Structure 1
Amino acid sequence: MTKLSILDLVRVTRDTDARIAMDNARALAQHAEKLGFQRFWVAEHHNMAGIASAATAIVIGHIAAGTSTIRVGAGGIMLPNHAPYVIAEQFGTLARLFPDRIDLGVGRAPGTDQLTLRALRRAPDSSDNFPQDVLELQAFLAPAGPDQRIRAIPAAGTEVPLWILGSSNFGAMLAAQLGLPYAFASHFAPEYLLTALEIYRARFEPSEQLSKPYTAVGVNIIAASTDDEARRLATTQQMSFTGIFRGIRDVSQPPIDDIESYWTSTEKAQVKRMLARSIIGSKETVRKGLAGLIAETQADELVIVTDIYNHPERLRSLDITADALSG
Structure 2
Amino acid sequence: MSEIIGVYSLDDSFSEHMSLTLYPDSFAVRWSLCNLTANFMAEYFGELFPEIDGEDRLISRDEVSGAIGYVLNELVENAVKFNQHGDITVTVGIGREDLVCLVSNQITNAAVPSLREKLLELTQEDPGELLRRQAEANAEDAENAGSGLGYLIIMNDYGVSLGWKLDPISVNSFSIKTMARIPILNERSRMEIKGGNYRVWYDPSEVVVYLEGILRLGGTTEYAPIEELLDKVLATNPPTITLDVRALNFLNSSGINVLYKFAIATRKKGELQLIVRGSKSIPWQGKSLPNLKKFNQNFEMILCD
TM-score, length basis structure 1: 0.26
TM-score, length basis structure 2: 0.27
* Structure showing the higher helix proportion among its residues: 1
* Structure showing the higher strand proportion among its residues: 2
